[in-house]
A and B are shown apart, each in its own frame.
Chain A
């Protein structure tokens, strides 16, 4: 029995383009505030992905790093073993697309993903850049999703996944939904520090790993959330 919660950040050297570190820091802070000891593991793309982690994070990146990241993850196999063991995963933007069967490369060419989520992505007509707000699937019991998206991807969801949310503002998957989940895997286009804007999503990942959690002071999280949601939803 290991004593601390192991948070594994996959390939920060390739896939950490915009504030992705924020998700790691938020999970760490929210676990530590509850007295849960945390171990953070940064896995460079030249190193094997450990399969004994509790929560895995993978972030966004440019086209070439995305293709390299997918190749390395497929060759490595560590993430697949970890998911089979019951670990949870938050995959963001380029990392989200990698989890599917296929995504669009530099010239829009199809590139094979690693098949952990039943989704397929391609390159859209135009870049979606801006604030996003969305109502989360009721089964997860989470408040409105808020964040920032910046991508050209269009993602089709297969029957093996459930949409994470329905968009109020923004593009998301491109069909009125944003992100998806299956088992303990969550994928989203909300890049960078999505968990800073959605602490309840961070707590969901923590609960999947350690069980029920006590309340903590969310003053600064709530003030930021309210300001951002007001900015995009109020006329």
Chain B
């Protein structure tokens, strides 16, 4: 009798105790990771680290070509995924009629979201690098990464559009607007912060992607920058940089981690601090926008 009571007590407290423990341990691991990286890398964080090219001498090496490459790839990826992802989301949510074609498109996107990113690297290698002869350029890298994160944007766009109440669309139709006008002037503005949150979330995923870019052949040692897009002569802008070779921050980190010397590991840790700060910031921005969007939708 007494033992039975004890078993009940243990059983009834299992989930509250184990759940709290599991949550604390998981977040603890995250905390330990951040502390470990910071401890290893903080002394390498200085201006010289940001303004130097990689080098054989760890103390002189820096992440200039890596962060400039990351900025190039990120800006380009944003420009590519925004129109295509949002347009796909609008079609599926607002236009596509229930049926075989819609089902097929949905299964397809859900599968694409689960395809390992390294497979996109193989696709980019054959299609962009070899078939379209882009070589291991910034453009080939951005196109490949865009394909990796496109499903995220499509899904987020659909969720945001779904949250827009039907009454808004009906009111617009009642005033004589057609479908396109309703979508462009009523639905999209209401869903905008939700969509933006999805795009930013996709960017936070793209910034840390390493495997697909290594697979398309992005170099691990680059001591030059892509041609600057700004020129002093008319028309003040050039797209020459799109064709240049590049490397990105995660690849530079990978390169340093895979070396045996400890000094390079410190460089890797310093690079990680910067990468972590940027990707966490982007992620928080996405969450903030999503919460704002949800509050805004509840008020309507």
> Do these two chains really belong together in a complex?
no
Q: State the B residues within 8 Å of A (CB).
A: none
Q: State the A residues within 8 Å of B (CB).
A: none
